[in-house]
Amino acid sequence: MDQVSLEVFPRDSVAILGPSGSGKTTLLRLIAGLEVPDGGQIFIDGRLVSSPEWTLAPDRRGIGFVFQAPALWPHMTVAQNILFGLQGLPREEARLRLEELLARTSLSGLADRYPHQISGGEARRVSLARALAPRPRCLLLDEPLTNLDPELKEEMLCLIEESLEESGICSIYVTHDADEAERISERILTLKGGSLSPQQGRG
């Protein structure tokens, strides 16, 4: 990536389109702190979080991440996966938050199941619930609908839309599907040749 400049505001929903290998995932990983930039800087709420010299740990950034694959921890139940990021919260408060998320993602009856005991679509919903659980300031979504059949894709898109609206947080949605991008985001950017530009015909 070269000369990428992106500013995201509270409640903003940005989609980044681009062909495979254009660096969309790398951009999200840099924002999340999973990779260290070779150059440039990343700020969250005006605070420097990433530069070649210094990087703030990912868990200190207040960012939620939905990966391409559900990436659920196989030794933990659905509930334990969601509760993982709620450490420090009083037990009762954590339980209420868990119930709220399970209800919102239609997973109420699956709390005690392990990842191998649920379907692919359910696993995606757990992944979203886990990312939303600690009430992040920003949600990063890295092609979360990859490999889903059309029915599940539609179901998941609705859930993401609702969740983003209810939580009122900003989001960056990476995809190579223009329809998905239009549906989820107010602002669409294209990453091509290492640089970011507004999609033609949109701002």
Partner 1 sequence: MRYFSKIRQQWSWDGGLRYLLLFAFFLLVYGPLVALMEEASRYSLMNPETALNLAFPSGRILGLLINSLGLAMAVAAVGTGLGILAGSLMWRWQTGVRSYLRWFILVLAPVPPYLHALAWSSAIDNLNNHLQFLGWTTISLQGWIAAWWVQLMAFLPIAVGMALIGFESVDPYLIEAAGLLRSDMQVFTRVILPLSAAPIAAGSGLLFLLSITDYSVPSLFSANVYSLEIFAEYSASNQPATAVLLALPLLIVTVLVVTGLQSALRDAAQIAPRQPQACRASLWPPWFVWLQKCGLAVLFLQVGTLLVSSVAAVVSLEKMTSTIILAGSEISFTFWIALATALAAVPVALAASMELRRKDVLGRVFWVLVTAPLAVPAPLVGIGLISLWSRAVWPDFYGSSAMPVLAALARFAPLAAIVLLAQLRNIDPLLIDAAHVFQVKAQQTWVQIWLPLLAPGMLAAAGIAFALTSGELGATLIVAPPGHATLTMRIYNYLHYGASSDVAGLCLMMAIATLAVGCLAALALTGWRPGGKIPLSAGRVRSR
CB of 126 to partner 1, least distance (A): 11
Nearest to 189 by CA among 20, 17, 26, 42: 17
Nearer to partner 1, 146 or 199 (CB): 146
CB of 160 to partner 1, least distance (A): 17
- The backbone torsions φ and ψ at residue 64, rounded to the nearest 5 degrees and listed phi first, read -100, 150
Nearer to partner 1, 19 or 198 (CB): 19
CB of 35 to partner 1, least distance (A): 6
Cβ within 8 Å of residue 97, ≥6 positions away = 86, 89, 133
CB of 200 to partner 1, least distance (A): 29
Nearer to partner 1, 120 or 198 (CB): 120
CB of 65 to partner 1, least distance (A): 5
Distances (CA, A) of 140 to 90, 108, 165, 183: 26, 24, 15, 16
Nearer to partner 1, 68 or 195 (CB): 68
Q: For residue 88, with 0-12 CB atoms within 10 Å meaning exposed, 13-18 middle and 19 or more buried, which class applies? A: exposed
Q: Which SS3 state, helix, strand or coil, does residue 28 take?
A: helix
Report d(CA 175, CA 163) in Å as an integer.
Answer: 18
**Residues of this chain that bind partner 1 (CB under 8 A):** 32-36, 55, 57-59, 61, 63-65, 67-69, 71-75, 84-85, 87, 130, 134, 146-147
Nearer to partner 1, 83 or 160 (CB): 83
Planar angle of CA 33, 35, 36, nearest 5 degrees: 95
Residue 10, CA atoms < 13 Å, CB-side half-sphere: 6
